[in-house]
Amino acid sequence: MELATPTTELYGSFLCAYEEIGVDSPDGGGFVGREAVETEGIVDFLRGAETRGSYPGWVTASNYWIVDGGEVAGMISLRHELNEALENFYGHVGYTGRPSLRRRGIARRALGEVLRRAADRGLDRVLVTCVDDNVASRRVIEANGGKLEDTRVDPEGRAMRRYWIATG
């Protein structure tokens, strides 16, 4: 498993992963609208978030494709700072994976690698959240040292568990 900066070479595999996850998936498949992924322009869009954010008013972020066995197994993002919504509900890190490749420890390893990259960016700890009933995500976060701070209800009415993880 490795984290790869989005590339046009991996675009086809990314598109397959995106389709499998589902555009309207509650676990993050719809991180960008369907029209945004229909061209290889998504690569520049995701890479550009490093310096300008994804949309006006959004924080800068490092976006990675989780690659396993040469195919995109999922996506993970490290947001470099927190705005109000991120601090209250969504955190520094967001990730999702292909259903057909789950239960292999890929998300756990990807989060571990993102934590190392967060430390390299000078972040001593990061906030990682998940929907309260997402047991798999809770296990991923807790396996990486996540300490539950609290649970808050987001604007969509979902209970979000908020975990802090030390990066060192």
Cα–Cα dist 123/142, whole Å: 19
Cα–Cα dist 14/67, whole Å: 9
The string of pLDDT tens digits covering residues 64-90 is 999 999 999 999 999 999 999 999 999
The string of pLDDT tens digits covering residues 98-134 is 988 888 999 999 999 999 999 999 999 999 999 999 9
Judged by DSSP in three states, 9 sits in: helix
Q: Quick one: 9 exposed, middle or buried, by C-beta within 10 A (0-12, 13-18, 19+)?
A: exposed
Residue 27 has pLDDT above 50, yes or no: no
Encoded tokens for 104: 């292999």
| pLDDT band of 36, cuts 50, 70, 90 | low
Q: 14, 13, 27, 3: which is closest to 129 by C-alpha?
A: 27
pTM of the shown model = 0.89
Chain centroid offset of residue 133 CA: 18
Residue 41 has pLDDT above 90, yes or no: no
